[in-house]
Amino acid sequence: MLILPGCENKTNNSSKKVRIDSTPTLFFHGGGSSYRAEEHIVDAAKKVGVTKSVLRAEVSKTGKVTLVGMWPKDAKNPICEVNYEDNRQLDFNKHAAYATNVIQALQKKYKFKKINMVGHSLGNISIIYYMLRNGNNKKMPQIQKQVDIAGHFGGLTFDGIPNSIKQPSGMKLNSKGKPNKMNSTYQQMTGVRELYMKKHVQVLNIIGDIGNRSDGRVENISSLSLQYLIGDGNSTYKVEKINGKNAQHSKLHENAQVDQALINFLWNK
């Protein structure tokens, strides 16, 4: 378990809290990537006037958080671009610690009780594991809306990855998105099902299909297994499928259709 070791703010060292009335949105990048992969979507949001307030949270391998930039007190729909130094971490419980540390660092400076979360690929793990750790913690901000892009919830098919995150051979989903075979990580993730069943989280699952029921790296069946984790309770679940060559895994976070779907879902009422 990682413990928040304190945070730094490169722009403002004041310990005074600023009340943020709008719900902050946190972006989490994929494996082997960085916050720069988040900038296309964030820039799209800025261009249409959704927000002008963006800061970055740098997370070290030990979980130390440094905030770069600041949100003004009148920030509209403030955004935090999260950047993990350890961007290939496959211990998913550490993603829970990293995400929790980021939000606690933000809470030290800003007053807010609700958050939105957006993940691409491995970044989706931060969302699920944040919920696992904090879904019943009233002291931590609760997720209102989440956007999952190219998530590998049911597993990956790469060679050389641990069996705990490998997609089981012959995996199929029933009508509720429940896999007939589950790796140990997915079994752990099913712990969020009870939480989503009683929460009111709005979930948008964006998947890419380049023509083979895959985005080229993650099979659609793995992404669609998110449905079972959300359950049939108070939370709502919607799928947006992107087709064609620009639906390839690493192109989804630079896709105009994804930009528009995300902006409409998070901020257009």
User: For the segment 122-161, what is each residue's pLDDT rounded down to a tens digit?
Assistant: 999 999 999 999 999 999 999 999 999 999 999 999 999 9
pLDDT (mean) for 22-46 = 94
pLDDT (mean) for 212-217 = 97
Domain boundaries, the chain: 7-266
pLDDT of residue 17: 87
The CA distance from 188 to 103, in Å, is: 22
- β-strands 142-149, 114-120: how paired? parallel
Tell me if 114 sits within 8 A of 142, measured CB to CB.
yes
Give strand pairing partners of 67.
9, 57
Mean pLDDT value across the chain: 93
pLDDT of residue 90: 86
Query: What radius of gyration, in Å, describes the C-alpha atoms of the chain?
Result: 17
How far from 97 is each of 23, 57, 222, CA to CA, in Å?
21, 14, 24
The CA distance from 213 to 221, in Å, is: 8
Checking if the pLDDT of 1 tops 80, the result is: no
The CA distance from 142 to 136, in Å, is: 9
Q: Encode 213-251: b = buried (16+ Cβ within 10 Å), e = exposed.
A: ebbbbbbbbbbbbbbbbbbeeebebebbebeeeebbbbb
The strand ranges marked E within the chain are 7-9, 18-19, 25-28, 54-59, 65-68, 79-84, 110-111, 114-120, 142-149, 202-209, 236-243
Q: Encode 166-183: b = buried (16+ Cβ within 10 Å), e = exposed.
A: bbbeebebeeebebeebb
247-266 residue pLDDT tens: 999 999 999 999 999 999 99
pLDDT of residue 27: 98
pLDDT of residue 269: 57
Residue 235: band (very low, low, confident or very high) from pLDDT cuts 50, 70, 90? very high
pLDDT of residue 175: 97
pLDDT (mean) for 155-183 = 96
pLDDT of residue 16: 74
Checking if the pLDDT of 190 tops 80, the result is: yes
**Nearest to residue 150, comparing CAs of 173, 131, 127?**
127
pLDDT of residue 4: 41
pLDDT of residue 15: 58
Checking if the pLDDT of 14 tops 90, the result is: no
Checking if the pLDDT of 79 tops 70, the result is: yes
pLDDT of residue 5: 41
- Looking at the chain, the whole-number percentage of residues with pLDDT higher than 70 is 94
CATH superfamily of domain region 7-266 = Alpha/Beta hydrolase fold, catalytic domain (3.40.50.1820)
pTM of the model: 0.93
